[in-house]
A and B are shown apart, each in its own frame.
Chain A
């Protein structure tokens, strides 16, 4: 399984931007970078995904390094509701192309 490395935890203040980093140095050319988050007592929630170019949606932005060995999930204005565990996942070619979850980054948002 393709590996990603994320900090165990991060803190942010409400209404400030948050940059959540992810390293994936073994990524191959066809692997997609997915981000999901899990709020307490809920199932994971899709946030965003990308292949090579930066991506924006209503929830977040995804900045992908030129060499694709790292990426950053950007929450433009953190709210208390954004407190969750954020998972950066490589979805690799072949087999069932399942999501393989690591430990993620636990984001705490301070009021």
Chain B
């Protein structure tokens, strides 16, 4: 049973380019969370999605960032016109259902470097 898969593991972009980060949840999981970890800082919640719906995007920057989780395929975190401050590790997590007692399963992240 494969875990949460994120790709690419490392991504280098020049300022102004677009970054697309992909997350394939565990089999049977329909809930996805995205987190960002800046260097030497803690994990910050960005967005929570269920299939085809954004449930909570309270942690998403208001501009340049978007997320989707289509009916088929992985969840995508898209960052347009990247800036140096976007350099961070981006983690996604999945769960089979909604609930406070349900653990989240995390991937090993995509490390984005903006040059």
Q: Which residues of A contact B (CB under 8 A)?
A: 30-32, 34, 38, 41-46, 49, 51, 91-93, 95-104
Q: Could you say which of B44, B45, B100 has the most chain A C-beta atoms within 10 Å of its C-beta? A: B100
Query: Is the beta-carbon distance between A98 and B45 smaller than 8 angstroms?
Result: yes
Q: Which listed residue (B4, B42, B108) contacts A102, Cβ 8 A? A: B42
Whether B48 lies near A93 (C-beta < 8 A) is no
Q: Which residues of chain B are within 8 angstroms of A91 by Cβ–Cβ distance?
A: 100-101
In chain B, positions 78-115 with a C-beta closer than 8 Å to chain A are: 91, 93, 98-101, 103-109
Q: Does B52 belong to the interface (CB within 8 Å)?
A: no
Cα A31 to Cα B4 in complex, Å, equals 26
Does B33 lie at the interface of the complex (its beta carbon under 8 Å from any beta carbon of A)? yes
Interface size bracket, B side: 20 to 34
B103: contacting residue among A49, A100, A103, CB under 8 A: A49
Binding site for A on B (CB under 8 A): 4, 33, 35, 42-45, 48, 55-56, 91, 93, 98-101, 103-109
A44 near B43: Cβ-Cβ < 8 Å = yes
Ordered nearest first, which 9 A-B pairs have the shortest CB separation? A43-B106, A96-B56, A46-B103, A101-B43, A96-B48, A91-B100, A32-B100, A44-B106, A43-B91
A sample of 9 more A-B contacts (CB under 8 A), given A32-B100, A42-B109, A92-B100, is A30-B100, A38-B43, A44-B91, A45-B106, A98-B45, A98-B48, A99-B104, A101-B35, A101-B45
- From A46, A49, A51, B105 is in contact (CB under 8 Å) with A46
* CB–CB B101/A32 < 8 A: yes
- Which of B43, B93, B106 has the most chain A CB atoms inside 10 A of its CB? B43
Distance (whole angstroms) from the CB of B92 to the closest CB of chain A: 8
Q: Which of B33, B43, B108 contacts A42 (CB 8 A)?
A: B108
Q: List 8 A-B residue pairs with CB atoms under 8 Å apart, sorted by A's residue number.
A: A32-B100, A43-B93, A44-B91, A44-B104, A46-B104, A93-B100, A98-B45, A101-B44
